Amino acid sequence: MLRLDGLSKTYPNATQALRGVTLEMKEGEIVAFVGGSGCGKTTMLRLVAGLEAASAGSVEIDGEIIREPHPWVGVIFQEPRLLPWLTVAQNIGFGLSALPRAERDARVEEALLRVGLAGYGGRWPRELSGGQAQRVAIVRALVARPKVLLLDEPFSALDAFTRASLHDHLLGLWQARRPTLVLVTHDVEEAVTLADRVIVMQPRPGRVFADLTLDLPRPRDTLAHDFSDAKRRILKALDGSLQAEAQAAATPDTVGAWW
């Protein structure tokens, strides 16, 4: 279980990015975070990843406090960030150096097969399309079998068709071991497609505005009424979060767009 307990972050310039975020995410749950500009979504991911220290509060996974990068936590960034001097197989196996060679090779081969890239292990990152490179980034994070996987808008730069295909690949990989997935996205349809819960954040400082459960069967039909209803619930909460920010700031030019 992933727990954020009173998590706050204030930077040296006095900018308060997060204030008092308390949430619990179950093992195997997919949780999406959406919200206006300045709501601290990426800061929260960096704190969970152990890349930054919290100003107050804590991040715990199964009772262990996370203060620095931890093998239980994997991260997928907006860009694939593959190492250009390593082959596809070497990129995927980069974090598995402690394993015996045979086990490492078997995990890499299985991962490539699961995302439709069997036979691509010997290729270089420059030989991949954007969608293929991001598939490699996904399996690189999951092949280490983390308990928590953080996704920082990993599909935002891709076209709609490729993005939908990667959603399917991600869910297929998640199904195998069911780590907790924490997704930051600006795409409400993406949140409804992937998540069990959607957390709507209120900006400046970032804090929880709404915690919405999505009780939708998988695979999800984007044309179904319940899918559209879920999108409307999230959009309504987003509008509410921005209105609350405007009221708190009392100046109209401080309202941030969430899209």
Spans of all domains in the chain: 2-251
Written out in words, the top-level CATH class of the domain with range 2-251 is: alpha beta
| SS3 assignment for the chain | CEEEEEEEEECCCCCEEEEEEEEEECCCCEEEEEECCCCCHHHHHHHHCCCCCCCEEEEEECCEECCCCCCCEEEECCCCCCCCCCCHHHHHCHHHCCCCHHHHHHHHHHHHHHCCCCCCCCCCHHHCCHHHHHHHHHHHHHCCCCCEEEEECCCCCCCHHHHHHHHHHHHHHHHHHCCEEEEECCCHHHHHHHCCEEEEEECCCEEEEEEEECCCCCCCCCCCHHHHHHHHHHHHHHHHHHHHHHHHHCCHHHCCCCC
> Is residue 248 very low, low, confident or very high in pLDDT (cuts 50, 70, 90)?
low
Q: What is the pLDDT of residues 54-102, one digit of tens each?
A: 999 999 999 999 999 999 999 998 889 999 999 999 999 998 988 899 9
Q: What is the pLDDT of residues 14-29, one digit of tens each?
A: 989 999 999 999 999 9
At 38 the pLDDT is: 81
Question: Is residue 258 scored above 50 in pLDDT?
Answer: no
At 27 the pLDDT is: 95
